[in-house]
Amino acid sequence: MLSMMVIQVVLIITAVMISFKIYQNIQIDKWVREIFYVKDRSLLYIGDEFDLLPLPLKKYIILTGARNKKAFKKLKIYYRGMIKRKSNKRKWWWFKLKSYVNFDTHSYLADACMSIVPGITIRVIDMLERRIGHFVIYLGGMFKFVEGLGTEMNYRNEMVYLLFHFLSPAYLTHENFKWEEKNGEVIGLFKDGKVDITGRFVFDSEGKLLAIHFNRYRNVKNDFVLTEWTVEIEKYGNWLGFYLPTTFNFIYHLPKEDFHYARLEIIKMYID
């Protein structure tokens, strides 16, 4: 009798978990469909605006092979990565990440999964949907236990969206960007809706982008603190006929130390 009750409880729990999983996947698929919808199907090529760019950025566009090619309006990108929770911890957590980007709708969705202990995973959804930032963490891939929205989240996620432009370089000439060269670095102003982002972009003499420096909101004890943030490009590779950044290191510059907290490497890339 007891064993039958245990079996029934297990079946009920399993059914509830499956229901949560199905609902979550339906919601995420809805987000992906909305993000991947393209209204404007005209082709985008780099025009006369190329002549107004700073020389290092011109070299980058030529180096990537984007000068005379149409831009990607949508990208699907798969990564492998690792992340560290605190600077004084040696342990890195490995994870898989896939992202969907749509430059037509100013949107992206990043979907990451990692195992924190054997048998228990967390799923992280980080997205910008029509200029609105949204962050959700699901425990066990099913139960929502952290969610982020608001002005700081919009700013953070617009910054991530900016980074995707370097994988479809023609969009670096879009009207959202204003560029100037200053003291050997390129200063970029990115304006998207109500968000203005200024960054410093470091290139080598050949045109390779080496690093990007921003001030970014970092989550500290349930509050957001504006912190100097660097994205370093470690490697380049050939993707879809372009020579593009492939491996990225993410660093927060804290008052007492530099915190290298994440690394991403592209393993697959598709146009849609």
DSSP structure class, residue 256: S
On the question of pLDDT at 9 being above 70, the answer is no
pLDDT score recorded for residue 45: 66
Where residue 6 falls among pLDDT bands split at 50, 70, 90? very low
Q: How far is CA 130 from CA 7, 88, 106, 112, 122, in A?
A: 46, 37, 5, 21, 26
- Report the SS3 class of residue 71: coil
Contact partners, residue 134, CB within 8 Å, separation at least 6: 125, 126, 127, 128, 147, 148, 149, 153, 157
Q: Which residue has the tokens 């963490």?
A: 137
Specify the range with the lowest mean pLDDT, choosing from 87-96, 127-136, 149-158, 224-233. 87-96
The most confident of 74-88, 139-153, 211-225, 231-245, by mean pLDDT: 231-245
What's the confidence (pLDDT) of residue 35?
Answer: 53
- Contact, 104 vs 73, CB < 8 A? yes
C-alpha separations of 31 from 148, 198, 244 in Å: 16, 28, 27
How far is the C-alpha of 77 from the C-alpha of 272, rounded, in Å?
9
| pLDDT classification of 194: cutoffs 50, 70, 90 | confident
At residue 245, the 3 state secondary structure works out as strand
pLDDT at residue number 14: 45
**pLDDT tier at 162, thresholds 50, 70, 90:** very high
Q: What is the pLDDT of residue 270?
A: 92
- State yes or no: pLDDT of 246 exceeds 80: yes
Residue range 119-140: mean pLDDT, rounded: 85
Instruction: State yes or no: pLDDT of 197 exceeds 60.
Output: yes
Residue type, 126: D
Q: Which fold has domain 2-270?
A: outer membrane lipoprotein receptor (LolB), chain A (2.50.20)
CA dihedral 24, 149, 89, 247 (to 10 degrees): 80
| 7 membership: H or E segment, kind and range | helix 2-36
Q: Pick 105 or 21 by higher pLDDT.
A: 105
- Give 23 or 174, the one with higher predicted confidence: 174
Q: What is the pLDDT of residues 107-118, one digit of tens each?
A: 999 999 888 776
Q: Are 197 and 156 in contact (CB under 8 A)?
A: no
Beta bridge partners of 225: 218
Q: How many CB atoms lie within 10 A of CB 220?
A: 10
Length of the chain: 272
Is the pLDDT assigned to residue 176 strictly greater than 80?
yes
Cβ-based burial of 4 (10 A; exposed 0-12, middle 13-18, buried ≥19): exposed
Give the residue from 135, 142, 44, 89 showing the smallest Cα distance to 261: 89
pLDDT score recorded for residue 212:
97
The values of phi and psi at residue 90, to 5°, are -90, -25
Residue 158's SS3 state is helix
